[in-house]
A and B are shown apart, each in its own frame.
Chain A
Amino acid sequence: MTKKVFNPDVDAPVFKGKYAPYDIIKEGTIAVVVVALLTVVLAVLFSSPDEKAVTIKSWSNATPMDFVATAITELDGTSGTATYGPPYNNAATGQQIGPFTLAKWMGINVKVNTASDFVVAPLSTLADQPALKTALTAFTSASSTQKASWEANYSKALTTGRFSSGTLQVPATNAGPVPVMMSALTAMARSGALDQALVTAKGFYTTDYTKPLLFMADGSFLANKAQAQHLSGDQWGMMNETGSYPGQAWLWLYTMWYQVPPFSTSWGANADALVWAFMMILTLLLALMPWIPGLRSIPRKVKVYRLIWREHYKSV
């Protein structure tokens, strides 16, 4: 058997030098005390951010027309969520890496039908409103062509619509039951009842906010607020925080790829999938560093270690 050749980037020399006293428990205790004190000092000095959550109620009260414009896209199936694809629906393939349609393969496990979940079902929970009940029956029993034509006419009229003195005024003609439904949904939203209806669709207890969050994300209220606070994806927002607090700075590399071509340009449509794939490869390189020739030699060649072990090298 031949003797294994010593590779300085893989093998470590056997240390035959001196040992010094070392109190590991004392070291650990000091570290805990110091970190605890530093934490208290930082918390006292800077506190922590807590910007109140947005609700559909606050959104529809602040910008009712943005709410209505979003709601009609949920009904006619043109909103971001309605056209999203997996895991919410099969309206699209979702992002892909070359021929790999990962999202589609994993299936639709968080089913969302925006027209029924965001509009029709919440409206059906409102009791004692005969006009609304008639409108809902007319809507649900209509053909899809008929629905599309009503929705298109309403959308067109929405550009000249306005919200004043507590009522939605949209001069729509040939829109069938849609105006009644949209007015009722807006009133429901402004009262806070829509927030409740969206989370309690499956029962009293709830811990799942998928539906109201998707609904709000389709509008521009949430995003405008984020833009103003430098939180948008194209503002390196992932590593930022509300207010002037430091954020998840450790996400710098991940968020950086979104800002640079080709991720920000020609690969834009599949940027998320491609950035993730790229980060997986980089992470794998980091994890497997000890086995990668070249990369594992960098520390030996840049000689930062001479600083770390300068006492040792002085003594040998």
Chain B
Amino acid sequence: MGLTEFFGAVFNLDHVGKYIHWGFIQLSVSNAILIALMIVTFISALLLPFPGKRNRKEGK
């Protein structure tokens, strides 16, 4: 048994997925998670303090 067989999918996604229905919108849960992650990442990128900048200022 190779390493890759051992590690092949810790989480098995090979089954019919769950779907979200909002009115005319149908979305797979995996896509919904992906899109939500994108939005969260975007907002975090805007809000989280960027390291370095402040340190440099204090150093000066």
**Which residues in A have some Cβ–Cβ distance to B below 8 Å?**
20, 44-47, 49, 51, 228-230, 235-236, 239-241, 243-247, 249, 252, 259-260, 304, 307-308, 311, 315
Contacts and interface: CB of A to CB of B under 8 A. Distances in A.
A51 B13 CA distance: 12
A239 B32 CA distance: 11
A244 B53 contact: no
14 contacts: A44-B10, A230-B26, A236-B25, A240-B17, A244-B16, A244-B28, A244-B30, A245-B17, A247-B28, A249-B35, A252-B35, A304-B46, A311-B50, A311-B53
B2 interface: no
Nearest to B45: A308
Interface string B21-35: 000111111110111
Contacts of B47: 307
A259 B15 CA distance: 25
B28 A230 contact: yes
Contacts, number: 78
Nearest to B19: A230
A244 B35 contact: no
Contacts of A243: 13-17
Interface residue SS majority, chain A: loop
B41 to A, nearest CB: 12
B46 to A, nearest CB: 5
A189 B50 CA distance: 63
Given A20-B56, A244-B16, A307-B46, A259 B24 contact: yes
Contacts of B18: 244
A133 B31 CA distance: 54
Contacts of B9: 45-47
A311 B18 CA distance: 43
Contact of B26 (A46, A236, A246, A308): A236
A123 B30 CA distance: 45
Contacts of A241: 28, 30
A249 B34 contact: yes
Nearest 5 pairs of A and B residues by beta carbon = A244-B17, A47-B9, A244-B13, A246-B30, A307-B46
Nearest to B24: A259
A20 B52 CA distance: 10
Contacts of B33: 246
B1 to A, nearest CB: 15
Given A20-B56, A44-B7, 8 more contacts: A47-B8, A51-B14, A230-B16, A240-B31, A244-B15, A245-B13, A245-B17, A247-B30
Given A44-B7, A246-B34, A311-B53, A240 B13 contact: no
Contacts of B57: 315
Contact of A46 (B11, B16, B19): B11
Contacts of B10: 44-46
Contacts of A311: 50, 53-54
